[in-house]
Chains A and B, each alone.
Chain A
Amino acid sequence: EIGLIPCPEARYNRSPIVLVENKLGVESWCVKFLLPYVHNKLLLYRQRKQWLNKDELIDITCTLLLLNPDFTTAWNVRKELILSGTLNPLKDLHLGKLALTKFPKSPETWIHRRWVLQQLIQENSLPSLATKGSLGATPVERIHRLVQEEMNVCSEAAGRYPSNYNAWSHRIWVLQHLAKLTVKVLLDELSSTKYWVSMHVSDHSGFHYRQFLLNSLIHRTVTDKNIPVQKQVVNEQNPSLQKEKESAGTEAACAEEQSVDLPGRLDEEMELCSELIDNYPGHETLWCHSDESLNNSHHSPATSHMAQAMDVDGLNESSSKQGYTQETKRLKRAPVQDSLGPEMEYRFVDKVLSTCRDVDQARFATAYRKWLVTFLGQ
């Protein structure tokens, strides 16, 4: 990781670079000399007033980006180097990772990262690389490793800045574009982020990520098979999940998805929510998450993904009667559920209201109760 060492004056005649174990530090006094110097050099190169060879370019942009990773031009120079084959894209992933230890939000870093990953995806699909891969990894394994690494990078960045929108957005992007939203990866991510969100109960972005995972799972089971997942009573869970093959074979995927215990997953989510709400009173995020998870488990999979789709049966949205009837249409379409969800939720809310001492908690619980009545119609 990198960092700036507060050191307003150069006390000794020695290098301002400090390397201790895995930590690279730069004494702050030198930045006001270093940054303008490298910045100027790069601009002169860009203006074609001063030539820089490839190694110099790599060094200069590297230095620049570790000091200020939101300098788009520097990332773009590196894009050119990658496209001309002089720079290994993996180096930029590493550079970005370093930059993110100090600048976990840096939008330009995340944007460049996605460009690099897109390059790698394209490379990966070329047959010539099937044999050329480093460490003898197959294309599939390489993608898998990339995905895992991205999950790590996102996780670390999320830990360095609360509700790190850019990090969580990137995480979603990676799942959509690299991991193709396979059931396996969705379930893996659900389990690997469970601990993290429990430790960051105000991190709305973290919980939003879980909503994204759950919604994707629901959507996945609907679009792949066109029949709803079998409703199972909670105590008869069948959580056996075979290892998902990474290929795009939809038939194989179908057979395995049959065993996704969606209701079980949603109930687990509700349990997690209730537990966290009890332990950490007064966090609005947890109540929002509860709302939405219950919403998902109350409707059958076929209709719950309609929670976002605004077209109800393709009816013309701009007709003036549509707006307020959207909610009732959604409710009417949902078949009656065996789920005990709402009843348990009422009991939970009433318990919270009668035992809590936190003012915000009471307010959220009251609002939740009103929501239960209005939207679930029970």
Chain B
Amino acid sequence: QYLTKSVIFGTMEVKTSSNSVRFDKQRCSFIVLIMFFSLPAVNAVWPMPQLISSSTDRYPLSPRQFIFQYASGSSAKSGCSVIDSAFKRYFPLIFVDYLKKTEKHMYRTFSMQPMLNVYASIHLSFPFSVVDKLSVSSGQASLRAKTVWGALRGLESFSQLVYQDDFGQYFVNKTEIDDFPRFKFRGLLLDTSRHYLPLPAILKTLDAMSYNKFNVFHWHIVDDPSFPYQSSTFPGLSSKGAFHPSTHVYSQTDVSRVISHARLRGIRVLPEFDSPGHTQSWGKGQPGLLTSCYKGSVPSGTFGPVNPAMSSSYQFISRLFKEVASVFPDPYIHLGGDEVDFTCWKSNPEVRGFMQKMGFGTDYTKLESYYMENIINLTKTLNKTSIVWQDVFDNHEKVKETVLHIWKGSPAQIQQELSDITLAGYRVILSAPWYINHIAYGQDWTTYYNVQPLNFTGSEQQKSLVIGGEVCMWGEYVDATNLSPRLWPRASAAAERLWSDEKTTSSVTDAFPRLTDFRCRLLRRGIQAEPLFVGHCRHEYEGI
């Protein structure tokens, strides 16, 4: 659990008053309520921080004088790659016009603008250090976090506090924020198999994710339609299974670029190699892996799931996963395990023989369990924890120490599933209510916003097993042409649900103006976020 603490104040006078509220949480939350009605828009941070109090005192920020600094007591110092690059990234995000203006009117602006004697700097400090350094002539903001990951979240919040008035002058209001996420796992799934997503589309999505404080990129990298992951162990998989062997693949360089881009934004990359179903594209480059389907007594020429009766299948998976485990640093691997169709297995005499040998009778869920147990164990030997779709639990498979991922069902069924899975002691990730590839006319973000992830029957202990949720953007109808506007700001609704306190963010009516503002901010940052409803942004999207 990381903790972000950011205190922003400007003058000596302010410092005293802020000191008095600083650790008084109840009072802070009281202030939040009042502030949001009196100061709409200006102090909107999305997702809503756990505790925020701000006043109408505002301080100008000068892009010429503003600096980020590591606090003297900070355990992270200059040279820390995550923070150094975050400083560089957030400067133009805060001063949106700065780069443009300096190019055009650098000298003119400089000479004509009155010198500002108030400026802010951000002092970053890590545990045990004290925030100080205030001078009368300068305002100062400080941000305290236990880890660099908390600091990233705090920088994002700070950047959202800065606004421009009608004259283009930058301001920040006196604000105090005490923040931490409600759920540890706040994910977003992209599907690069049904359509190939060029690298820039993925990187841009990671940028937008960090603006929304998402922290897991679930990369559904391969599936039936194509296998774009270029494996160094099995290059045939992508050379045969990708839409195109050179233009529609992710090379090892591409993958490491995605991972490092994500890391610098505090985002984990969780790879999914879904099996035994959803593997049609694997079969093209790995003959003998898939089950050959039979029509009567002869092979029909089509293929089914991975052949669970062959030991070669497990040897292959083992070698592939060994590579995957070393390429993707995250301690988790998503193993899929959903929607396994048994008809092909049933048709194959070899598989039937294996069933008999194993004493499974005609219960093919046992065969599926056998397969999943094998690859879960195999994953364990690689020192990785498995995540699997709920089907694996539903089919009563023994899946100790895995995390289950809920993807289907009516609201009542989802609640039941949450109860059942957590009662059995498993950790769980919720996605079913956030299938945002399903589009509809109107403001469907409200449905995503109104989800109550912990609204199910269960003990406190059970509820603590819900580690988070994930927005899924499946790729049947989505590629680089429409991904961004379909994701944002609809995914932002889920982002707030996963980060913020449900009590302070239960109203769609209150969220609407904040999200409308946030969407314009995303646009300003170059994210192609679609409108919530009729209206305009000061700076409209200029692409097509």
Partners in one complex: no
Binding site for A on B (CB under 8 A): none
